[in-house]
C-alpha cells in the first residue's frame, strides 16, 4: 500500500494554522502565546531529531543504544513531571519522586509488553521498544504530573485540615487519606477517559498513525488495544507509586506535615 | 493525674522555654500577637520541629508514637478545621450531654459543616477534642468567637474536665478578665520566652489561687 508523502508546503500550511492560533492568544492577552510558540518549535525540532535517531537506530540495533535512548527519554519525561507542579518537592526529591515512579512503572510494563506479549527478535528491537516506551512514558508522565501537582497543592491549601487530623491523633496516612485518594483518581482520569472514548469519540493517535501509514485497520486496532491496556496499567502503577512516595515525603517520622520540603 | 513538663524547648528561633504545669493546674499564657504563643503550643504538640524535652508525667515525648502523643496532649487550634460533610463524622465518640451543655440539640451530629457559624465551630471543636480524652489540654483562644454566655459555659466545661481528670491545662487568652477567672498561674510570652506576668495593676498575678 502506498503512503502519501507530505510535502514541506503541507507542513508549512499546518504551521500557519498554529501561528494563527498563537496570534489569537496574543490578541486575547492570554499570556500563553510564548508557550504555544516554544512548544510548537520544540515539537518540530524534537520530532525531526528523533526521526533521525530512529532511522539510525533501526539500522544499528544494539541493546546499549536502545538503553541509552530509553534513558534519555526517561530523563526528559522526568523533567516534565518535575517542572509541572506549582510547588514541587525541593532538592533531589523534586526530580526523584516523579522520575522514580516513571521508571518503575514504564519500564516494568515495557519489559512485560516486549518479552511476553509482542515478542520481537531481539526483544529490544527498537522499532517496537522505542515507540512502546514513548507512549508509556508520555501517558504515565501526564498522570504522575497531574497527581503530584494536586498532592503538593493540596498539602498547601489543606494544611489546616491535615494538621487538625494529626492533632486529633490520626497518623500521616489517615490524615492524608482523602487527599491521597483524590490525587490518584485525578491522575487516572485522563487515561480512563481515553479508554472510554477510544474508537467512538477519538481514534487514538497511534492507531491513526498506523492506518495513515498503510497498516490494515484490524492490525492497528489490535495494537491499539494492547497499548491502551499497557498505558492504563503503567499510568495507574506510576501514579500510585508517585503519590505514595510523595505522601511519605510530605511527613517526617514524627508525623509532622513538612511543607518546608516543598520548593 | 497528668502533669506537663517542658524542658529547654527550642522551636523556630524561639526558646529555650521551661515550663511545668502540675496535674490539674491551669496556666494562662498571654502576650502580644506574634509573640509565639501558638508556635509554643504547636511545638509542645509536636506539630512543628523542636529541640528539647517534653514530658507528660514521666513519659518523654520521643518515646511515644507521635499520633499517641497528640491524643494525650490535646491541642485546640484557634481556627478549627473540618473535612467531612457532617459534624458527627469528626467525632471519636459522641457525648450527648456535653453537646447539650454547649447548646446543641441531639441532631447536631447530622448537621452539615457548611452551616456552622464560627462560634458553633469553636464550641464543637472543644467537644471533639475532649472526645479523644486528652491527658493534658492546650487551648489556643478557645472562646475568641463566643459571647459571654457561651464563654462561661466553655470555661465551666474545661474546669470540670481539668478537675475530673487532673489534667494539666495551658490556656492562651488575650482577655485579662478571663485570665483572672480561670488561671492558677499567669505567664507572659514575649520574644520567644515565657516569663511571669508583670503588670502595674497586678490584675493577673495571684488571681485565682
Confidence (pLDDT) at B102: 95
Say yes or no: B128 contacts chain A, CB-CB below 8 A.
Answer: yes
Residue A233: CB partners within 8 Å, gap ≥ 6? Answer: A109
Residues A221-231 have a mean pLDDT of: 91
The shortest C-alpha distance from B195 to chain A (Å) reads: 27
Identify which of A178, A256, A257 has the shortest CB distance to residue B83. A178
Domain boundary among A37, A60, A83: A60
- Residue B140: what are its φ and ψ, rounded to 5°? -105, 100
Residues from chain B contacting residue A254 (CB–CB below 8 Å) = 46, 49, 66
A45 and A74 belong to one structural domain: no
pLDDT confidence tier of residue A200, bands split at 50, 70 and 90: confident
A130 and A255 belong to one structural domain: yes
B204 has pLDDT over 70: no
A34 and A104 belong to one structural domain: no
Say yes or no: B77 contacts chain A, CB-CB below 8 A.
Answer: yes
A249 has pLDDT over 80: yes
Give the percent of chain B with pLDDT over 70: 94
Say yes or no: A165 contacts chain B, CB-CB below 8 A.
Answer: yes
A189 and A200 belong to one structural domain: yes
Record: contact B129-A168, CB cut-off 8 A: yes
The shortest C-alpha distance from A164 to chain B (Å) reads: 6
Q: What is the number of residues in chain B?
A: 209
Identify which of A158, A167, A257 has the shortest CB distance to residue B70. A167
ipTM, 2 dp: 0.92
The shortest C-alpha distance from B20 to chain A (Å) reads: 22
Contact between B169 and B162 (Cβ < 8 Å): yes
Residues A137-156 have a mean pLDDT of: 94
Residues A53-79 have a mean pLDDT of: 93
A48 and A70 belong to one structural domain: no
Identify which of A160, A170, A254 has the shortest CB distance to residue B79. A160
Confidence (pLDDT) at A3: 73
Contact between B12 and B46 (Cβ < 8 Å): no
Could you write out the DSSP letters of every residue in A106-167? IIHHHHHIIIIII--SSTT-HHHHHHHHHHHHHHHHHHHHHHHHHHHHHHHHTHHHHHHHHH
A33 and A161 belong to one structural domain: no
Record: contact B82-A161, CB cut-off 8 A: yes
pLDDT digits (tens, 9 = 90+) for B17-33: 999 999 999 999 998 88
* Domains identified in chain A, total number: 2
Record: contact B81-A178, CB cut-off 8 A: no
The shortest C-alpha distance from B29 to chain A (Å) reads: 20
- DSSP single-letter state for residue B135: S
The shortest C-alpha distance from A196 to chain B (Å) reads: 31
A227 and A245 belong to one structural domain: yes
Identify which of B46, B71, B81 has the shortest CB distance to residue A164. B81
Measured CA to CA, the distance from residue A238 to residue A105 in angstroms comes to 5
A66 and A82 belong to one structural domain: yes
Confidence (pLDDT) at A260: 95
Domain boundary among A39, A60, A81: A60
Q: How many CB pairs under 8 A join A and B?
A: 56
- Enclosing H/E stretch for B59: strand B59-60
pLDDT digits (tens, 9 = 90+) for A10-65: 999 999 999 999 999 999 999 889 999 999 999 999 999 989 998 999 898 899 99
Record: contact A160-B81, CB cut-off 8 A: yes
Residues from chain A contacting residue B47 (CB–CB below 8 Å) = 163, 166-167, 256-257
Confidence (pLDDT) at B206: 44
Substitution target in B61, B67, B78 with the highest count of A β-carbons within 10 Å is B67
pLDDT confidence tier of residue A194, bands split at 50, 70 and 90: confident
Taking CA atoms, what residue in A is nearest to B49? Answer: A256
Confidence (pLDDT) at A126: 92
Say yes or no: B13 contacts chain A, CB-CB below 8 A.
Answer: no
A86 and A181 belong to one structural domain: yes
Confidence (pLDDT) at B199: 54
pLDDT digits (tens, 9 = 90+) for B165-189: 999 999 999 999 999 999 999 999 8
Measured CA to CA, the distance from residue A203 to residue A33 in angstroms comes to 28
Residues from chain A contacting residue B65 (CB–CB below 8 Å) = 171
pLDDT confidence tier of residue A2, bands split at 50, 70 and 90: low
B201 has pLDDT over 80: no
Record: contact B67-A169, CB cut-off 8 A: yes
Record: contact A167-B47, CB cut-off 8 A: yes
Record: contact A256-B70, CB cut-off 8 A: no
Confidence (pLDDT) at B192: 77
Query: Mapping DSSP to helix (H, G, I), strand (E, B) and coil, where does residue B7 land?
Result: strand
Residues B112-134 have a mean pLDDT of: 96
A182 and A91 belong to one structural domain: yes
Give the percent of chain A with pLDDT over 90: 77
Nine cell digits for residue A32: 500563553
Domain boundary among A28, A43, A60: A60
Residue ranges making up the domain that contains A37: 1-60
pLDDT digits (tens, 9 = 90+) for B56-81: 999 999 999 999 999 999 999 999 99
A35 and A153 belong to one structural domain: no
Taking CA atoms, what residue in B is nearest to A252? Answer: B49
The shortest C-alpha distance from B209 to chain A (Å) reads: 31
pLDDT digits (tens, 9 = 90+) for B104-116: 998 999 999 999 9
Record: contact B77-A160, CB cut-off 8 A: yes
A116 and A239 belong to one structural domain: yes
Amino acid at each position: 500500500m502506498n503512503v502519501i508523502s507530505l510535502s514541506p508546503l503541507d507542513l508549512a500550511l499546518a504551521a500557519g494554522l498554529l501561528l494563527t492560533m498563537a496570534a489569537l492568544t496574543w490578541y486575547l492577552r492570554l499570556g500563553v502565546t510564548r508557550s504555544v510558540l516554544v512548544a510548537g518549535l520544540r515539537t518540530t525540532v524534537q520530532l525531526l531529531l528523533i526521526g533521525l535517531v530512529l532511522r539510525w537506530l533501526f539500522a544499528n540495533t544494539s541493546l546499549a543504544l536502545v538503553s541509552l535512548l530509553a534513558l534519555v527519554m526517561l530523563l526528559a519525561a522526568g523533567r516534565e513531571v518535575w517542572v509541572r507542579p506549582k510547588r514541587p518537592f525541593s532538592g533531589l526529591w523534586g526530580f526523584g519522586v516523579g522520575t522514580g515512579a516513571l521508571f518503575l512503572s514504564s519500564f516494568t510494563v515495557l519489559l512485560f509488553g516486549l518479552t511476553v506479549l509482542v515478542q520481537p527478535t531481539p526483544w529490544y528491537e527498537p522499532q517496537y521498544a522505542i515507540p512502546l516506551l514513548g507512549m508509556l512514558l508520555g501517558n504515565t508522565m501526564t498522570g504522575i504530573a497531574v497527581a503530584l501537582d494536586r498532592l503538593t497543592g493540596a498539602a498547601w491549601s489543606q494544611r489546616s485540615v491535615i494538621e487538625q487530623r494529626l492533632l486529633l491523633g490520626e497518623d500521616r496516612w489517615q490524615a492524608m487519606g482523602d487527599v491521597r485518594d483524590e490525587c490518584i483518581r485525578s491522575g487516572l482520569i485522563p487515561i480512563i477517559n481515553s479508554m472510554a472514548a477510544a474508537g467512538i469519540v477519538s481514534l487514538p493517535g497511534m492507531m491513526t498513525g498506523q492506518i495513515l501509514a498503510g497498516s490494515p485497520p484490524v492490525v492497528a486496532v489490535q495494537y491499539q488495544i494492547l497499548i491502551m491496556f499497557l498505558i492504563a496499567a503503567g499510568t495507574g502503577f506510576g501514579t500510585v507509586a508517585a503519590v505514595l512516595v510523595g505522601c511519605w515525603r510530605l511527613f517526617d517520622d514524627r508525623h509532622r506535615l513538612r511543607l518546608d520540603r516543598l520548593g | 493525674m497528668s502533669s506537663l513538663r517542658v524542658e529547654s524547648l527550642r522551636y523556630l528561633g524561639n526558646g529555650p522555654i521551661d515550663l511545668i504545669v502540675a496535674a490539674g493546674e491551669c496556666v494562662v499564657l498571654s502576650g502580644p500577637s506574634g509573640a509565639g504563643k501558638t508556635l509554643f503550643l504547636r511545638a509542645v504538640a509536636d506539630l512543628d520541629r523542636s529541640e528539647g524535652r517534653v514530658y507528660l508525667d514521666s513519659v518523654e515525648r520521643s518515646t511515644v508514637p507521635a499520633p499517641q502523643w497528640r491524643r494525650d496532649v490535646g491541642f485546640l487550634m484557634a481556627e478549627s478545621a473540618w473535612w467531612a460533610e457532617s459534624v458527627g463524622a469528626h467525632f471519636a465518640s459522641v457525648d450527648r450531654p456535653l453537646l447539650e451543655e454547649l447548646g446543641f440539640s441531639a441532631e447536631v451530629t447530622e448537621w452539615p459543616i457548611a452551616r456552622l457559624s464560627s462560634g458553633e465551630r469553636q464550641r464543637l471543636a472543644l467537644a471533639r477534642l475532649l472526645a479523644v480524652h486528652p491527658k493534658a489540654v492546650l487551648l489556643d483562644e478557645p472562646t475568641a468567637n463566643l459571647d459571654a454566655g457561651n464563654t462561661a459555659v466553655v470555661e465551666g466545661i474545661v474546669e470540670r474536665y481539668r478537675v475530673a481528670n487532673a489534667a494539666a491545662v495551658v490556656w492562651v487568652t488575650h482577655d485579662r478578665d478571663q485570665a483572672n477567672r480561670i488561671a492558677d498561674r499567669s505567664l507572659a510570652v514575649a520574644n520567644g520566652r515565657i516569663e511571669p506576668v508583670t503588670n502595674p495593676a497586678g490584675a493577673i498575678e495571684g488571681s485565682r489561687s
